[in-house]
Amino acid sequence: MTAGPTPGRTTLDGIAPDKLPRHVAIIMDGNGRWAQAQGLRRTAGHDRGAGTIRNITTECARLHLEQLTLYAFSIENWKRPRAEIQYLMRLLRKFLIDERPTLEENDVRLTAIGRLDDLPSSARKELDRTMELSAGNRGLNLCLALGYGGRTEIVDAARKLAARVAAGELAPEDIDEAAISANLYQPGRDPDLLVRTAGELRVSNFLLWQISYSELYVTQACWPDFTVEELHGALRSFATRTRKYGGLVDAPEAAVRR
């Protein structure tokens, strides 16, 4: 017998809450292509993409998912033309201010991962303020990856551990998977589901350590066209997966770090 929905808990039609992912990560790609297809500037795609973040966050909160991690600005994105970077940073600042009431309304806590010190001070200030204002919210954790690189995150974790070894606080043989996980930017549950929009079949340096056993879902839809129905498609696909973690049966306790 399959578990029925928990009374009072919102879920997707026909899908038991325990079949939904608890942590969804998304590579939001295709803003530029979306804009180009409409005969618009790339920046129009980013504007529209910010609206998609609001819709998808609200739906993830409504479905009581625990975490939504969004690849909002990669460490490689610093290589983009200066004007586009400036536009994205201004948009980020505006987004962080504009979203405060929606975060509040939906009990969403905003957090961030990445080399946040590399952000312009105006964006960093609003990021810190929004994180502070939403820190008491107990629903969805909306985690923005900003100036983020998966390899850099592992390097930064290695440096933290190396410093503890150098200080005599930790023995090299005590460094294990749990120690590395605990020293990532935001230790916690690994993504159950990794979604990528706009069709590319690569992970682009996103959450390299954490996605070892994530289920993958790629859609052709560009991020500005990623609707709530598209999200439901990804969640429904996830609900059909059998997670074996290299074993023979579902055994999340064997491989999922918390």
CA dist., res. 72 & res. 59, Å (int): 18
Q: Which residues pair with 109 in a beta bridge?
A: 141
Strand partners, 218: 196
Residue 46 binding ligand FPP, by CB under 6 A: yes
**What SS3 state is found at 110?**
strand
Q: In the complex, what is the shortest distance from the CB of residue 32 to ligand FPP, in angstroms, rounded to a whole number? A: 3
Q: Which is nearer to ligand FPP, 33 or 241 (CB)?
A: 33
Does residue 31 belong to the site contacting ligand FPP (CB under 6 A)? yes
Nearer to ligand FPP, 31 or 130 (CB): 31
Cβ of residue 209: shortest distance to ligand FPP, in angstroms? 21
Using the rule CB under 6 A, is 49 a contact of ligand FPP? yes
- The CA distance from 256 to 46, in Å, is 34
Which tokens in the block code for residue 130? 């929004």
Which of 24, 65, 92, 184 forms a contact with ligand FPP (CB under 6 A)?
A: 92
Tokens standing for 180? 């590395």
Residues 67-86 that bind ligand FPP (CB under 6 A): 72-73, 77
Residue nearest to ligand FPP (CB): 32
Q: How far apart are CA 50 and CA 91, in angstroms?
A: 8
Closest separation in Å from C-beta 201 to ligand FPP: 14
Residues 127-186 that bind ligand FPP (CB under 6 A): 144
Rule CB under 6 A: is residue 95 a binding residue for ligand FPP?
Answer: yes
Sheet containing 67-74: which strands, arranged edge to edge?
109-113, 141-148, 67-74, 23-27, 193-196, 215-218
- The residue among 15 and 124 lying less far from ligand FPP, judged by its C-beta, is 124
Cα dihedral 63/216/42/115 (nearest 10): 90
Q: Torsions phi, psi of 115, nearest 5?
A: -85, 80
Q: Which of 29, 153, 215, 230 binds ligand FPP (CB under 6 A)?
A: 29
Which residues are near ligand FPP by CB under 6 A?
A: 28-33, 46, 49-50, 53, 72-73, 77, 91-92, 95, 144, 198, 223
